[in-house]
Amino acid sequence: MNELVLTPGQLSLHDLRQVSRKAVQITLDPACYPAIHSSVACVNKALAENRVVYGINTGFGLLANTRIPDEQLEALQTSILLSHATGVGQFMEESTVRLMMVLKINSLARGLSGVRLELIEALVRLVNLGIYPCVPEKGSVGASGDLAPLAHMSCLLLGEGHATVNGQQVSALEALSAASMEPMKLAPKEGLALLNGTQASTAFALQGLFGVEDVMASAIISGSLAIEAAMGSRAPFGERIHQARGLTGQIDVAAAYRQILDHSEIEQAHADCDKVQDPYSLRCQPQVMGACLEQIRHAARLLEVEANGVTDNPLVFADDDLIISGGNFHAEPTGMAAEALALAIAEIGAISERRIALLVDQHLSGLPPFLVQNSGVNSGFMIAHNTAAALASENRCLCHPSVADSLPTSANQEDHVSMATYGARRLREMNSNTAAIVAIELLAAAQGVDMRKPHRPSEQLQQVMKKVRKDIAFYDQDRYFFPDIQKAIEFVTSGQFNRFMPTRLLTSL
C-alpha cells in the first residue's frame, strides 16, 4: 500500500504519479490544522457580523446578488451540490477519481477555503478505504471550476449518487455504511468549496503527463532499436551538434540516445558504408523528441503548481479577516498544459510511425520486404504499419486545440471558459494511440535487429531485446498478430523501459 503524509501545498509529481497508479493511505500533516480552523472562524465571523459574502450567504453565478437568509444556509450548500451533479457519459476510472479526491484534499487543507477539518477528514477516510464516487466524465467546461464532476464527487458525502466499494458499484448510502460514515450536513461555504476548483481537469492532465512520460521513454528505446535495425548513423547524435543549438531538451535527449546506443556491434559492421545521410525520422530524433520533452517539462512544471494551488472561490484570508472573490477556478493554465502535452503525444507517435514505414520498406531499410522472409506468401508487418498510420491520423484530429473553443455559460456571467476538462481527458486516448504506435515500432525494430545477426546491438538494447523476446517470439512467418501487439503495448504503458532513461530526464519518475 502506498503511504503518503500529505503536507498541503507540497505534493510532488512523483507523489501524484504514485497516487494515480495505486491505492493510497493518506495522513494529513497536523501542522495544517490551525489554518483550517482559522479559515472556518473567519467565515463564521463574517456571518455573525451580517456581512454579505458571495457563496456563503448569496446565490451563485448570475444569482450572486440574491441574499440567502441564515436559516437556509445549509440548504444553500446542499442544493448547489445536488443541482450541479449534471455530468453525463461513462464514469471516470477509479484512478482518476482517487487522484481528483487527493487534489481536492490538498487544496482544502491549505486553510484558504473555509471548510471544517471534519469535511476534509471525511474525504481522506473515503480515499483510504478505497471508496470512490462514481463520477461521469463529461459535463465540465473548466470554469467556474470543474463543477459537474466535483459535484458528483461530493454528493457521496450527502448520501446521494453511487460509489464503488472493492470495485463494485453500490448506492452512496451503502458506500457510506461500508465506511462507517453518516451523510454529512454542510456548513456555510462547504458545498461551494467542494465543487469549485480545477481538480477534475488537473487529474486528467496529470494522468496524461504520466502516460506520455512512459510513452516517450519507450519511444526513445524503439527509436534507438530502429537506428540499429536500419543501420543508421550515430553522427547526428554527437554532443557538439546539439550544444550548438542550445536547447536543453534536445541536448538531454541526444545524450540519452548516445547512452543507449553505445557499444554496438551493428554500428561497427557498417562503419565504412557509403550512405551519406539518414531520413529525418532517424537522424532528427533528438530535435523532435527534444522539442516534445520541452513541452512535457513545461506542462509538468505548470501542473505541479496547479496541483498544489487553491482554486475554489471565494478565498478566505483569515489573518486579515478577508473573504475575497476571484477567479482561480478558471482552468486555463491546466488547459494550456494539456495542449502542450497533446502536441507532444501526437508528434512522438507521428515520427514513430514514419520509422515503421522506413523499416518495412526494403529500399530504405535494406531489410526484407515488410520484415518477413518469403514475403508474398507472408505479409509480415504490412498491416501493422496500417494500424500505426491510422492511429497517427486520429491523433492529428485529437490534438486540435480545446482551450480556443470557449463557449459562454450561466447567462453570460461565465462568458469565457477554458474547456480544459475535455482538453485534458482526450490525452488518455491520445496516449493510448501513441503507445500502440510505439509498440508496433518496438516489434518492427526488434525484428530488424534480429535480421542483422550475428551482429549484436548495443549493450542496453541487448537487454531490451532479451525482454521483448522473452514474451514475443521472432516473427518467422505470418501468425495471429494481435497478442504480440497487445503485449508490446503493455511494455510501453507499464513503464518497463523507464529504467533506461538518464536520471531526471522525465520529471515525475
Q: What is the pLDDT of residues 320-362, one digit of tens each?
A: 999 999 999 999 999 999 999 999 999 999 999 999 999 999 9
Cell of 368: 526484407
Catalytic residue IDs: 54
CB–CB of 341/212 below 8 Å?
Answer: yes
For range 149-173, the mean pLDDT: 98
Return the axis-axis angle of helices 482-493 and 459-471, rounded to nearest 10°.
130
High-pLDDT (> 70) share of the chain, %: 99
With residue 253 as reference, give the H or E element that holds it.
Answer: helix 248-261
Residue 199 has pLDDT above 90, yes or no: yes
Confidence check: pLDDT of 128 > 70: yes
What single string gives the DSSP state of each residue in 424-452? HHHHHHHHHHHHHHHHHHHHHHHHHHHTT
Q: How far apart are CA 372 and CA 294, in angstroms?
A: 37
Tell me the mean pLDDT in the region 443-468: 97
Strands 136-138 and 2-6: unpaired
d(CA 51, CA 112) in angstroms, rounded, equals 18
pLDDT tier for residue 507 given thresholds of 50, 70 and 90: confident
pLDDT over 80 at 508, yes or no:
no
5-25 mean pLDDT: 97
pLDDT (0 to 100) of residue 407: 87
**CA–CA dist 406, 409 (Å, integer):** 10
> What is the distance between the alpha carbons of residues 190 and 407, in angstroms, rounded to a whole number?
28
Higher pLDDT, 59 or 210: 210
**pLDDT for res 459:** 95
For position 396, what pLDDT does the model report? 96
Q: What's the rounded mean pLDDT across residues 198-221?
A: 98
Supply the pLDDT for residue 406: 86
55 has a pLDDT exceeding 70: yes
pLDDT tens digits, residue range 360-415? 999 999 999 999 999 889 999 999 999 999 999 999 999 999 999 888 887 777 88
The 10s digit of each residue's pLDDT in 244-287 is: 999 999 999 999 999 999 989 988 887 777 676 899 999 999 99
pLDDT for 504 equals 81
Looking at residue 229, what is its pLDDT? 96
How far is the C-alpha of 54 from the C-alpha of 68, rounded, in Å? Answer: 10
3-state secondary structure 386-402: HHHHHHHHHHHHHCCCC
CA distance 474 to 133: 45
The overall average pLDDT reported for the chain is: 95
Give residue 410's pLDDT: 78
Q: Are 309 and 258 in contact (CB under 8 A)?
A: no
**Span 66-84, mean pLDDT?**
91
Q: Which of 96, 82, 336, 277 is closest to 199 using CA atoms? A: 96
Distances (CA, A) of 263 to 222, 260, 275, 458: 17, 9, 21, 5
54-77: burial string, b at 16+ Cβ within 10 Å, e else: bbbbbbbeeeeeeebeeeebeebb
pLDDT in the model for residue 83? 95
> For cell 531526471, what's the residue?
504
Give the residue-averaged pLDDT of 90-96: 98
pLDDT (0 to 100) of residue 62: 67
Comparing CA positions, the residue from 158, 163, 154 lying closest to residue 197 is: 154
Separation between Cα atoms, residue 467 and residue 165, nearest integer Å:
36
Q: Which of 41-55, 295-309, 401-415 has the highest mean pLDDT?
A: 295-309
- The span from the CA of 200 to the CA of 84, in Å, is 14
Percent of the chain residues past pLDDT 90, beyond the cut? 87
Give the model's pLDDT for residue 61. 66
The CA distance from 186 to 361, in Å, is 65
